Amino acid sequence: MAKNVAVVGVTGVVGQEMLNCLEQRNFPVGELRVMASERSAGKKITFKGEEHTIIEATTDAFEGIDIALMAVESAQSKEFSPAAVKAGAIVVDNSSAFRMDPECPLVVPEVNPEAAKNAPKGIIANPNCSTIIMNVPVWPLHQKNPVKRLVVSTYQAASGAGRPAMDELEATTKAWANGQPIETKVFPYQLAMNLFSHNSKIGPNGYNEEEMKMVNETRKIFNCPEILVGVTCVRIPVMRAHCESINIEFENPITEQEVIEILSKAPGVTILDDREKNRSPQPLDATGQGNIIVGRIRSDVSQPKGTGIEMFVSGDQILKGAALNAVQVAELLI
């Protein structure tokens, strides 16, 4: 059955990818309503070969919409999402506005698709991009052998901060190469030829907001409040696709081969692990791909009882980390 779909924030990188995913996955779209800020209203956008006029996103623009995909900031989502629900839509929200609301399921379709069936507020939250990229390969392992503890370091691309950040990385890299002065407006520090701790606010416990999202969201998605998660998030000078180094401590011993066998059958996972050629996941491998790419699978030598595994993963933050996951959630609704 066709569904009337609204994409809110359609001019942003995530909104654009949502449209691409709807088209590429042949989502049964009846009416498509594309929305953005007032300055973009009136512009044209193409979907399945047809032009659509962008309208201004307002609280009264959702009448007749079945599914609303939100690709806007949290403050805007808090304004538009309840309005869309009131008009009769189910919302899939990519912002952090409702992720930890107990009445809003937090869904990764490869992990907890059943959670999408119970959304009392009519809002389903998309997890943080880094959380999704970690959860997709860790979950199938957790099902076979419960995970006690995760220690994760992320290597996050500029795309995580949106198109302006991507443009700034390109401009500052060119400036560096040409020996010109480097100016930063989006990031607090120069990202070109540099890296720094993730540019989200640091809380009283010393962890920044991005790190705590991965901690709290994983516990909610896995429905496992006792799982231990330690995270360090870092911004690196890569345009697109995040990487993560993941150390896993299991309840019971597990071998490298067992991990490979589990992940080779896991939905949303591709293994790239060639020790002889020292070939493992890179951002360029993940860019434009829907799967999370996993490699460097090895036993943790610091855990002599055989309960530890190390691995390195890469995932497209804009696709599986945002737009694709949202469209997959929308597919669960039909």
Residues 214-252 pLDDT 10s: 999 999 999 999 999 999 999 999 999 999 999 999 999
Topology of domain 131-316, per CATH?
Dihydrodipicolinate Reductase; domain 2 (3.30.360)
Domain 3-127+322-332 has CATH 3.40.50.300: no
What is the mean predicted confidence (pLDDT) over 148-171? 96
Please state, in angstroms and rounded to a whole number, the distance separating the CA atoms of residues 311 and 254: 14
DSSP 84: H
Single-letter code of the amino acid located at 203:
G
For the chain, give every residue range classified as CATH 3.30.360.10.
Answer: 131-316
Cβ(133)–Cβ(315) under 8 Å? Answer: yes
User: What backbone torsions phi and psi does residue 191 show, to the nearest 5 degrees?
Assistant: -95, -30
Q: How many residues does the chain have?
A: 334
What is the mean predicted confidence (pLDDT) over 18-25? 98
pLDDT exceeds 90 at position 1: no
For the chain, give every residue range classified as CATH 3.40.50.720.
Answer: 3-127+322-332
* 30 membership: H or E segment, kind and range: strand 29-36
Provide the pLDDT for residue 105: 98
Provide the pLDDT for residue 167: 97
* Segment 101-116, tens digit of pLDDT: 999 999 999 999 999 9
242 is catalytic: yes
Provide the pLDDT for residue 304: 84
Please state, in angstroms and rounded to a whole number, the distance separating the CA atoms of residues 145 and 142: 5
Please state, in angstroms and rounded to a whole number, the distance separating the CA atoms of residues 120 and 316: 30
Whole-model pTM: value is 0.96
Residue 223 burial (CB < 10 Å; 0-12/13-18/19+)?
Answer: exposed
Distances (CA, A) of 305 to 250, 299, 300, 311: 10, 10, 10, 18
Short-list 20, 27, 13, 10, CA closest to 330: 27
Structure tokens at 38: 């007032």
Provide the pLDDT for residue 182: 97
Q: Which of 21, 129, 233, 243 is catalytic?
A: 129
Provide the pLDDT for residue 208: 97
Residue 142 burial (CB < 10 Å; 0-12/13-18/19+)?
Answer: buried
* Segment 254-303, tens digit of pLDDT: 999 999 999 999 999 999 999 999 999 999 999 999 999 999 999 999 99
Q: Which of 52, 198, 242, 243 is catalytic?
A: 242
